[in-house]
Each structure stands twice: as C-alpha cells, then as structure tokens.
Amino acid sequence: MIRAYRIPGCLLLLAVVALVLGVYLFRSVAGGLEDRGVTALSWSVAGRIIAVDPGHGGIDPGSKGSSAVEKEITLAVAQRLKEVLTSSGAIVVLTRETDKDLSDPDGGRLITRKRQDLSRRLELAEKQNADIYLSVHVNSFKSGPREHGAQTFYQPESEEGKKLAESIQAEMVRVLGNTKRKAKPVDYYTTRNSKMPSAIVEVGFISNPKEERMMCEPEYQDKLAYAIYCGLVKYFAAATAATGKSPVDRDGALETFIENEGRVFDAP
C-alpha cells in the first residue's frame, strides 16, 4: 500500500525560505572567497601600463539615452577604474580626462575627425608602451529596449585579446550579477589597429531605461570599475603564471602608490 503524506503549507514555506537563504549564503561566501582571491592576486597589475580609453567625447557624444549620453558614463567609469588600478600600483594612461576628443578642431567632416581621434588614442597608448588597451563604451539597441547586460568584445584571431575580454566578462558576470553575456569577437577600428592586447567593454545598454539609470549612479559605476579591475587582475596573473615573468616597473609602481590618496577598494 502506498501512503500519501500531506506536508503542511507552513512547513513547505519554511523549507523554500531555508533553501533560498542557503543558496544566497553559499553565493555570498563563494563571492567573498573570490574577492579575497582577487586581493591576493592584486600584485599582478603592479607596474603594468594600462591604457584606458573612455569612448567618445567632445564633438562625439556617442549613444544617447533619455537623460544621459555615452561620453559622460564612459568617462566616469574610466576615472573610477583608474583609481582602483593605481591603488594596486598600476600605471594608468587615460586617453581623455575631460569632455574632449583628440581630433583637430578644424579637421573637416565628422567622420574624418572621428578617424583622427581614434588613431591618436591608439598612438597615445603606444607612446606610453602600454601593456593593454581597454576601451570603455555603452551599448544601445533602440529596437529592443529590454536588451541589457555588460559585454566585452575582442578582435577576431587575437588570442590575447580574447583572453583579456573573457577574463573581464567572467568577472562582470560574477560581480554585477545581472548579465550572462559572453565575450564576442568583433572587428572594430581600435582592436584591429592596436599593437597590444585590446578589448572593448560595453558596460550596459543606455537604450534600456533601468540600466541607463544604474549606469548614472556612482555606486554602480564603482561596481563596474571593480568588476573590470578583477578581470584585469586575473588576466595579468594568468599571463605571469604562463611566462614565469612579471615585468614590474618598481619605480613606476612606487610612484603610483605615493601619488594615490590611500583609498582602500573593497568589493562593492
């Protein structure tokens, strides 16, 4: 004889709540261990020269949302990324630090000035002997406002670019918790012409009202910067493990430590 037992509704509810709490606690502990791991590996970016390119600027606003434009968001995230990287001893080259582009004011048509601007950003990184080139952008998809999530891109056939993009993407998935997108190959001017490993980070969709609001919030910008930082730390740690060498510029690293205000960056 088979007997059926009815579980009281209150017990079933408690079981569901316990399961949800267990999953949350497990993820919290796992996330905490991951962040400790990033802290332990932070030496990997010390002395590295990292070119961070806040997309657009000046005459080129980039994509527009209902209340913000791309060039404002990219600059804010890039500046926060510079802070956390320099706190770990990295040498950061920002291609722009204000709302401007690098083209000549009398450079002619917009498309001509845009090409000149992009070319000069790469030249700036190359003159500084940057180890990597990271371009920060904001995505837009007008025909689908529900599209959301940060995503990285790399140049097809670039193995190092792929490693860089995948490392950052994995950390954005982990830290942000609101994207499941994967790094993808794409043929862009900067990644195609960069002489160093490069990647493009689209930090979210400005065409998505909710994500636009989030990307304008300083707290979320800190979270984005931290996620990218984690990806860079793990990328350089893996590169060091593969080669057995860490080309740390000790004088450069020391200088960035001295100039830094001493802010401690914990996981958001």
74-119 pLDDT, tens digit each: 999 999 999 999 999 999 999 999 999 999 988 788 889 999 999 9
Domain membership flag for residue 57: yes
Task: Indicate the number of domains in the chain.
Answer: 1
Higher local confidence (pLDDT), 23 or 108: 108
Give the number of residues written for the chain: 268
Contact by Cβ (8 Å): 123, 40? no
Distance CA 72, CA 75 (A): 5
Longest Cα–Cα distance in the chain: 91
Domain membership flag for residue 237: yes
Distance CA 224, CA 49 (A): 20
Left (φ > 0), alpha (ψ -120 to 50) or beta: where does 183 sit? beta
Reported in sequence order, the residue ranges of the chain that DSSP labels E, i.e. its strands, are 49-54, 91-94, 132-139, 151-154, 184-185, 198-205
Residue 75, domain CATH: 3.40.630.40
Domain membership flag for residue 255: yes
DSSP 1: -
3-state secondary structure of 77: helix
Domain membership flag for residue 167: yes
Domain membership flag for residue 17: no
The strands making up 151-154's β-sheet, listed across from edge to edge, are 91-94, 49-54, 132-139, 198-205, 151-154, 184-185
37-60 pLDDT, tens digit each: 888 889 899 999 999 999 999 999
Domain membership flag for residue 214: yes
Domain membership flag for residue 69: yes
Residue 126: domain span: 49-243+250-259
172-229 pLDDT, tens digit each: 999 999 999 999 999 999 999 999 999 999 999 999 999 999 999 999 999 999 999 9
Tell me the pLDDT of the chain averaged across its residues. 85
Domain membership flag for residue 23: no
Q: 201-214 burial, b if ≥16 CB within 10 A, otherwise e? A: bbbbbbbbeebbeb
Residue type, 267: A
